Structure 1
């Protein structure tokens, strides 16, 4: 339990906004979130994590950035769902204590975010220990384009994500289904970046002609990564441990084994309709919903059959703004009446 608590604490340490205080690590030590704080509790870090903290503090800074980007993406992807990846009242820490599909997504998107941030830092020259990606290929081209340019070094980002995110769990791998599940979902997140690199090219030639193209590999935009992992969440596979405790196998005999890109879970998700402090569910009471939609995010589904209320809200907003020479922007104030619809 201490190891699992430390992992949860590390995730909290990474993904919460910097102005939140009173975070809880393992048994409840209050902490202030900032990049340097991640490495202050070195006794709680595994070997690889400790080594990165000591030798590559600039990588830790990118790890923290990637985890924050991941949290924002999680909240975007689940903005219309009953569970919306909220960080209120430490609900996320309780979600991460169980191997549900929601926890699988958080682990995967965080590992992907770390790959993304570290790789991006390499390309922008913020990390001295890595260079551009090696996009050169042994295969010949047809003469119209060739590999070159400064590609994204996703291999380095992948490596650092694996070292930092997997280190503690790998110490307790044998026979522990939670370890296998979390390592699998971490890898699924990294695959959502690494396997979907895209080719970008630049033309060369006289007078704007494109007699030759130089091409390199770039990461997909992170929204595409989030979309892909959200699809994997919807099709997540429920698994159990194999007899030898070394592998994950589908719970159902007719279900195919999960691939490296699939998300896996062992526990059913709680009912997020109602508030349940123990499970980390805040319920959907007070959530904004769309009364005209029958899909996810519509009031019928989001309000769990409890109904909804409508309220008119008067907003005073800037409008008809114009630039006055020199140098002032003048706006009128417009009254905008909107109808808010919220779950009961």
Structure 2
């Protein structure tokens, strides 16, 4: 069940809403105030086989059908956890200088609304799952999928595929099956959620590149070994952050030709105009300021900021406090024979800025 979440979101069964992100604090023990570097890994070092694998599937808040898929796919539970780690890390990194910094505080309430931030969470969550699944296939962590061995390139005879490529084709197919997206709902919120999910998947797909290595005498490149490789997930995060910054407010219109309700953007001026672009994030309502504590965030009081770039925005006009902190660093380093570096420890005084409460 999708406890505490809007009915329109439940048929999508998106793990970000109904499964993992809404329960990430329980999985990782996060409070929303930890530095990113202290986020723990996925699972303990135990093999994802047999009873351990089945236990992991049962521990997750999945639908009955999703649990069946999880039990059948050895390695899926670990991949789901990895996708949560990816999405949390990337969300916090991309919003580290924003008023809403992707903190866990109040995320359940935020997911019930149609804000730009909700759109980003949906997109980055589906992107992380798509990315993690493709990587799990190429690394051999899932039994039912292997490398992406279909090059689809011209002059195929000149190419030799010898490295395991990221299997995004299987990932996308399995993701649709796992999320259960069969038909588009007439509900506007459900349409927007489904659209933003697909924006995340498309963002991952846009980062799929062909990587090659040359083989031959004196670098002649007589034979090339090529494989499909996904870009680092941070590249996907940067793209989705741009989509967030340029998100549009959606609304519904009736198609005069079919009589069906469709999702449209403000650029559409008639029932026959162009549809919403498949790459742009969509929101329903304007976001709160996130300046003060609310059910959507903890506010910005006490947040560290940069005096020259972010304090004026983050502190919401309340001003900021300045404090001097002593930090240690290595200095006066010298190379000793052989292959050894000796350094002294120096103290450096730094100014630290934090947003005021009042």
Fold-level similarity (TM above 0.5): yes
1:235 pairs with one of 227, 238, 246: 246
Distance 1:300 1:256 in 2: 39
> What's the offset of the Cα at 1:57?
4.4
2:300 pairs with one of 284, 287, 298: 284
- Residue 71 (structure 2) pairs with residue 62 (structure 1): no
2:275 pairs with one of 257, 272, 276: 257
2:174 pairs with one of 156, 160, 163: 160
1:178 pairs with one of 189, 205, 221: 189
- CA distances 1:226-266 after superposition (whole Å, capped 9, x unpaired): 11111111111211234466531124544953222221111
Unpaired runs of 5+ residues, structure 1, are: 24-32
2:119 pairs with one of 99, 104, 115: 104
SS of the residue corresponding to residue 243 of structure 2 reads helix
Change in 2 beyond 3 A, CA 1:135/1:2 = same
Distance 1:325 1:301 in 2: 51
- CA distances 1:19-59 after superposition (whole Å, capped 9, x unpaired): 41799xxxxxxxxx9797774378x6445413212312411
1:203 pairs with one of 192, 198, 214: 214
Equivalent in the alignment of 1:219 = 230
RMSD of Structure 2 on Structure 1 (CA): 3.3
Distance 2:159 2:174 in 1: 29
Change in 2 beyond 3 A, CA 1:125/1:2 = closer
- 1:14/1:67 contact within 8 Å kept: no
How do residues 1-344 of structure 1 correspond to structure 2 at under 5 angstroms?
A: 2=3, 4=5, 8-12=17-21, 15-16=24-25, 18-20=27-29, 39-40=57-58, 45-46=62-63, 48-87=65-104, 89=105, 91-137=106-152, 139-140=154-155, 145-146=158-159, 148-149=161-162, 150-164=164-178, 166-167=179-180, 170=181, 174-243=185-254, 246-251=261-266, 253-254=268-269, 257-277=275-295, 280-293=296-309, 298-317=310-329, 319=331, 332-344=344-356
Question: TM-score of the superposition, structure 1-length normalised?
Answer: 0.81
> What's the offset of the Cα at 1:332?
4.0
Change in 2 beyond 3 A, CA 1:114/1:321 = farther
Distance 1:253 1:71 in 2: 34
> What's the offset of the Cα at 1:215?
2.1
SS of the residue corresponding to residue 247 of structure 1 reads strand
Change in 2 beyond 3 A, CA 1:320/1:121 = farther
Change in 2 beyond 3 A, CA 1:226/1:249 = same
> What's the offset of the Cα at 1:333?
3.5
- CA distances 1:203-244 after superposition (whole Å, capped 9, x unpaired): 121233212323222111111101111111111121123446
Question: TM-score of the superposition, structure 2-length normalised?
Answer: 0.78
With 191-200 and 245-254 compared, the bigger mean Cα shift is at 245-254
> What's the offset of the Cα at 1:314?
1.8
- CA distances 1:53-75 after superposition (whole Å, capped 9, x unpaired): 23124112102201211110010
Distance 2:355 2:330 in 1: 29
Distance 2:312 2:112 in 1: 30
Distance 1:201 1:75 in 2: 33
Unpaired runs of 5+ residues, structure 2, are: 33-41, 44-52
Q: How many aligned positions are there?
A: 321
Distance 1:59 1:154 in 2: 15
> What's the offset of the Cα at 1:2?
4.5
With 5-14 and 182-191 compared, the bigger mean Cα shift is at 5-14
